């Protein structure tokens, strides 16, 4: 079983696991993505137990999803933070495992190919969902105005959060900060962005 413990296999688990984490954030309703993501990250964790890990590269790797999460919560498509996440993930994963001369043990050509492939997949998925949402909204203008939803990620006064409305995840703004788990009513819909307001808990019938 020792042949299963090697830097290149660990790198594969890390790249796929983090990319699936980002994809599951885009498509919160896909449970299969989360299952595969957890399996990949768990396998990577096992590899880390038996391999020497570069702590600085590991720190950058752990922070690599943050620019992506920030970009998704902002109303600007093609945000450069998206590319920053891919670069941080690619570089840090390559240098996770180094020799005594600080040379990466992971095959760099293979690492570059994987990063390009996963980045393209992530981009296509994000754009596909954006276009699909736009087409749906063109046929159903103001489709969720007046509906009640649940805040999934905190909505700050300076940035957007995510809201689950009718089993669909939306990006939402509010004049006042709203914490995750609160109920909100949709006041306005601009494309696939919502303006919401917190409401009191609704008594169950």
Q: How confident is the model at residue 203 (pLDDT cuts 50, 70, 90)?
A: very low
- Cβ atoms of 63 and 21 within 8 Å: the answer is no
Residue 192: is its pLDDT beyond 70?
Answer: no
Predicted confidence at residue 84, as pLDDT, reads 86
pLDDT tens sequence across 155-182 = 887 677 889 888 788 888 888 899 988 9
pLDDT tens sequence across 42-64 = 988 888 888 888 999 999 988 98
- In angstroms, the CA 105 to CA 11 distance is 10
pLDDT tens sequence across 116-166 = 787 777 777 666 655 555 545 444 555 788 889 999 888 887 677 889 888
Phi/psi zone of residue 146: left (φ > 0), alpha (ψ -120 to 50 degrees), beta? left
Nearest to 91 by CA among 104, 79, 73: 104
Residue 11: is its pLDDT beyond 70?
Answer: yes
Predicted confidence at residue 191, as pLDDT, reads 66
Q: Are strands 193-198 and 168-173 parallel, antiparallel or unpaired?
A: parallel
- Would you state the structure tokens that stand for residue 190, as one six-digit string? 């601009």
Max CA distance (Å), the chain: 67
- Residue at token pair 């495992």: 97
Q: Give the whole-number percent of the chain exceeding pLDDT 70.
A: 79
Strand residue runs (E) in 115-203: 148-151, 161-165, 168-173, 183-190, 193-198
Give the architecture (CATH level 2) of 148-198: Beta Barrel (2.40)
Predicted confidence at residue 108, as pLDDT, reads 79
- In angstroms, the CA 129 to CA 77 distance is 12
Q: Are strands 148-151 and 183-190 parallel, antiparallel or unpaired?
A: antiparallel
Contacts 24+ apart (CB under 8 A), 32-37: none
Residue 2: is its pLDDT beyond 50?
Answer: yes
Domain ranges (residues) in the chain? 2-138, 148-198
pLDDT tens sequence across 104-117 = 888 878 887 887 78
pLDDT tens sequence across 27-47 = 655 677 788 888 988 988 888
pTM greater than 0.85:
no
From residue 179, alpha-carbon distances to 155, 160, 197, 199 in Å are 6, 12, 12, 12
- End-to-end alpha carbon distance in the chain: 57
Mean pLDDT of 63-86: 74
């Amino acid at each position: 079983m020792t042949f299963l413990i090697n830097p290149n296999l660990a790198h594969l688990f890390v790249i796929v696991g983090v990319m699936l984490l980002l994809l599951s954030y885009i498509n919160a309703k896909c449970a299969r993505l989360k299952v595969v993501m957890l399996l990949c990250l768990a396998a990577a964790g096992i590899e880390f137990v038996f391999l020497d890990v570069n702590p600085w590269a590991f720190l950058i790797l752990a922070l690599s999803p943050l620019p992506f999460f920030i970009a998704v919560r902002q109303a600007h498509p093609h945000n450069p933070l998206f590319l920053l996440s891919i670069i941080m993930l690619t570089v840090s994963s390559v240098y996770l495992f180094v020799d005594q001369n600080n040379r990466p043990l992971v095959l760099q050509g293979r690492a570059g190919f994987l990063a390009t492939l996963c980045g393209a997949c992530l981009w296509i998925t994000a754009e596909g969902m954006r276009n699909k949402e736009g087409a749906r909204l063109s046929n159903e203008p103001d489709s969720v105005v007046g509906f009640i939803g649940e805040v999934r990620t905190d909505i700050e006064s300076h940035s957007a959060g995510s809201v689950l409305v009718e089993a669909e995840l939306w990006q939402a703004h509010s004049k006042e900060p709203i914490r995750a788990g609160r109920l909100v009513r949709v006041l306005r819909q601009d494309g696939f962005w919502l303006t919401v307001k917190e409401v009191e808990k609704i008594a169950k019938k």
